[in-house]
Amino acid sequence: MEKSMNRQPQHLAWHETLEIHELVAFQAIGLMKLKKAIGDIKDQRLRTIYQNTISALENNLQDLLQFYAIAPRADATNIMELDSGFYAGDLLALAKTSVRNYAIAVTETATPVVRETLTNHLQKAIKTHADIFQYMYDNGLYPAYDLQQLLENDMALANKAMEMDF
């Protein structure tokens, strides 16, 4: 019994791999958006905040991508076309965040009409999430049932985001 307790797995757990996937995908898209927008920022203080955020996100992605080497997967390499999924991925991130934010807000309501309004908004956010997920899945942009492909896509997206000029 003691022998099995001392065994250290040689890979990440599935659930932590999926959390890292969510962080990488969200931050890579955010990084791309910041890099596209920074040229329009005229206020030097705000531009500095953007530059610091860009640097921090690049560091975050480099740190997180190191864990992909020990993520559970089979052997294959098939990378999605990045540009076609950027806007869809951005909308997916917005939909996920909206679902989470509305779900939390509903639990903080005391006024019935506010609860009803937030619940209606939550249902719309869930519908948006379902629609954009299905679009991405149907077009090979979000291989949700293929962890290996999902991680390959993350790595390609994160690397593209880090390589973008700004």
CA–CA distance, 20 with 64 (Å, rounded to integer): 7
The predicted pLDDT at position 77 comes to: 40
The predicted pLDDT at position 81 comes to: 44
CA–CA distance, 123 with 120 (Å, rounded to integer): 5
The predicted pLDDT at position 76 comes to: 39
105, 118 Cβ separation under 8 angstroms: yes
For tokens 């890579």, name the residue.
28
The predicted pLDDT at position 89 comes to: 87
Retrieve residue 76's tokens. Answer: 């294959």
For tokens 């962890």, name the residue.
147
The predicted pLDDT at position 7 comes to: 63
CA–CA distance, 110 with 123 (Å, rounded to integer): 19
* Average pLDDT per 10 consecutive residues for the chain, totaling 166 residues: 58 83 89 94 95 93 90 54 72 91 92 93 94 92 88 89 89
Q: What is the DSSP string of 51-74?
A: HHHHHHHHHHHHHHHGGGGGS---
DSSP 108: T
- Which residues are within 8 A (CB) of 97 and not within 5 positions of it... i.e. 6 or more apart? none
**Long-range contacts (CB closer than 8 Å, 24 or more residues apart) made by 38-43:** 38/166, 39/166
Residue range 16-30, pLDDT digits in tens = 888 888 889 888 999
Q: Looking at this protein, which amino acid is placed at residue 122?
A: L
- State if pTM tops 0.75: no
The predicted pLDDT at position 128 comes to: 93
106, 118 Cβ separation under 8 angstroms: yes
The predicted pLDDT at position 87 comes to: 86
